[in-house]
């Protein structure tokens, strides 16, 4: 039997989410050169050894689940192809599903085309969230460059605890005591849905995306500043405004979108932290659509400011989850949590900037790229956003059919028009 690793609170929560999404986090980067495969393999093996959860299988023991570290071969991790149709190959690779019982929790795709390389990664959200996945890929690219150029062994990846309660380490004793007593169920109760079709056999995972140009992005920043709004606020406002139009919600209906927040904001220092999950949701609610998109924006700013003032933002509910997992065997705690947990129907994850400089491989910066969250099962949706070189990529991963693809693309069309309205002032 292999070495065992603890199944942490968030590992178990993301396992519970198997009813709502496929738990895959996706990354696509394009480079204008051909990546050295041997260097990539060397770096990847070292990083797998530093983060052994990536080559472990999840054992769903009914009392106490755990990870079992498994032997692997790098050839099983990496798919290499000289592509004739790189878009299709990338799409097929990115929409794959990795069962948690498998020995590997991350897959890497290297697609060579026209003297370029598309580097794709798919990993199990149970292992790490978008925040740590960005750290992982930044460290990976740095290690690749140092190994390729200077022969420095690629062994620099944070190791340490993956426990959820690292978020409390930089609190004072009193604050920590207060935070650990935040026994509150903060799930979204809103029943407003994205207007996708009903689930049926034949539904397949797809990733729909839309770009917001650099010019538009820079204008968003400027207009946002004038209104006291961040780019994130502007995107959320456009999301709300577009949803009312697409789904036909009443103008006076209150709608909530659950926005992912990185709980690492509570941690000053990530020394001694292994790659893991530290993401929760905050409920961004607007009381009505507003007479125009600027009123919607003001509602979003008001909602977001309320959360920003809260020093315990995102920490509510953690003690309750911990309690449920502690006092009951795993199978029983899953059933209890499912009773109290309400998965958000509408969600957003602004994963943030993919720093093209930090993602350079041997001096070659990526020319394009994006990261996106899990494929959601209907009726749940998640709008993800990343930016690279001031170009925002919006994406929505759905398990659906051709009609759902059309609906998502229509949503993106309305979204673009909403952005134009925001900039039209």
Which parts of this chain interact with other proteins (CB under 8 A)?
38, 41-42, 45-46, 48-49, 71-75, 147, 151, 153-155, 174, 177
Question: Least separation, in Å, of the C-beta of 138 and other proteins?
Answer: 20
Of 72 and 307, which CB lies nearer to other proteins in the complex structure?
72
CB nearer to other proteins: pick between 3 and 225: 3
- Whether residue 130 contacts residue 371, with contact meaning beta carbons closer than 8 Å, is answered with yes
Query: C-beta of 107: minimal distance to other proteins in Å?
Result: 15
Residue burial 391-404, b: 16+ Cβ < 10 Å; e: rest? bbbbbbbbbbbeeb
Task: Please list the helix, strand and coil fractions of the chain in percent, rounded to the nearest 5, in that order.
Answer: 40, 25, 35
Nearer to other proteins, 46 or 212 (CB): 46
- Residue 43 vs 324, nearer CB to other proteins: 43
Closest Cα partner for 327 from 128, 64, 85, 149? 64
Task: Supply the Cα-derived Rg of the chain in whole angstroms.
Answer: 21
Q: How far is the CB of 55 from other proteins (least distance, A)?
A: 8
**43, 51 in Cβ contact below 8 A?**
no
Q: How many CB atoms lie within 10 A of CB 247?
A: 16
Rounded to a whole number of angstroms, the minimum distance from the CB of residue 301 to other proteins is 29
Closer of 153 and 185 to other proteins (Cβ): 153
Choose between 55 and 162: whose C-beta lies nearer to other proteins.
55
Rounded Cα gap, residues 163 and 170, in angstroms: 14
> Whole-number minimum distance, CB 174 to other proteins, in Å?
5
- Closest approach, Cβ 49 to other proteins, in A, equals 6
Beta bridge partners of 115: none
Residues 68 and 1: beta-carbon distance below 8 Å? yes
Q: Which residue, 74 or 218, is less far from other proteins as judged by CB?
A: 74
Supply the minimum distance, in Å, between the C-beta of residue 310 and other proteins: 16
- H helices of 173-292, in order, are 173-179, 214-227, 231-247
User: How many Å apart are CA 28 and CA 201, to the nearest integer?
Assistant: 28
């Amino acid at each position: 039997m292999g070495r065992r690793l603890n199944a942490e609170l968030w590992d178990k929560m993301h396992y519970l989410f198997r009813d709502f999404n496929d738990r895959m986090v996706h990354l696509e980067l394009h480079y204008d050169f051909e990546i050295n495969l041997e260097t990539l393999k060397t770096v990847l093996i070292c990083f797998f050894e530093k983060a052994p959860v990536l080559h472990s299988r999840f054992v769903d023991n009914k009392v106490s689940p755990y990870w079992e570290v498994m032997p692997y071969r790098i050839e099983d991790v990496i798919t290499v192809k000289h592509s004739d149709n790189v878009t299709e190959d990338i799409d097929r690779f990115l929409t794959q599903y990795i069962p948690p019982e498998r020995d590997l929790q991350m897959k890497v795709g290297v697609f060579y085309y026209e003297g370029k390389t598309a580097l794709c990664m798919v990993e199990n959200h149970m292992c790490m969230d978008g925040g740590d996945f960005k750290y992982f890929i930044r460290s990976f690219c740095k290690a690749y460059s140092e190994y390729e150029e200077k022969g420095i062994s690629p062994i620099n990846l944070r190791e340490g605890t993956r426990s959820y309660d690292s978020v409390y380490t930089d609190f004072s004793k009193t604050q920590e005591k207060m935070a650990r007593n935040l026994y509150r169920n903060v799930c979204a109760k809103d029943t407003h849905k994205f207007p996708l079709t009903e689930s049926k056999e034949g539904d397949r995972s797809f990733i729909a995306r839309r770009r917001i140009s650099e010019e538009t992005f820079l204008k968003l920043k400027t207009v946002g500043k004038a209104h006291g709004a961040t780019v994130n606020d502007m995107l959320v406002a456009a999301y709300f405004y577009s949803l009312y139009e697409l789904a036909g919600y009443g103008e006076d209906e209150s709608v909530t979108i659950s926005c992912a927040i990185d709980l690492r904001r509570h941690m000053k220092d990530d020394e001694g932290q292994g790659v893991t999950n530290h993401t929760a949701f905050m409920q961004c609610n607007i009381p009505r659509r507003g007479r125009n998109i600027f009123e919607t924006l003001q509602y979003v700013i008001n909602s977001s400011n309320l959360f920003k003032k809260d020093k315990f933002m995102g920490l509510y509910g953690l003690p309750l989850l911990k309690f449920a997992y502690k006092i009951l065997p795993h199978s029983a705690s899953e059933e209890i949590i499912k009773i109290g947990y309400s998965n958000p129907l509408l969600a957003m994850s602004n994963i943030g900037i993919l720093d093209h400089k930090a993602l350079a491989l041997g001096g070659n910066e990526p020319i394009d790229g994006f990261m996106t969250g899990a494929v959601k099962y209907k009726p749940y949706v998640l709008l993800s956003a990343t930016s690279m070189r001031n170009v925002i990529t919006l994406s929505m991963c759905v398990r659906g059919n051709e009609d759902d693809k059309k609906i998502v693309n229509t949503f993106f069309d309305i979204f673009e028009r909403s952005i134009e309205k925001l900039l039209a002032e």
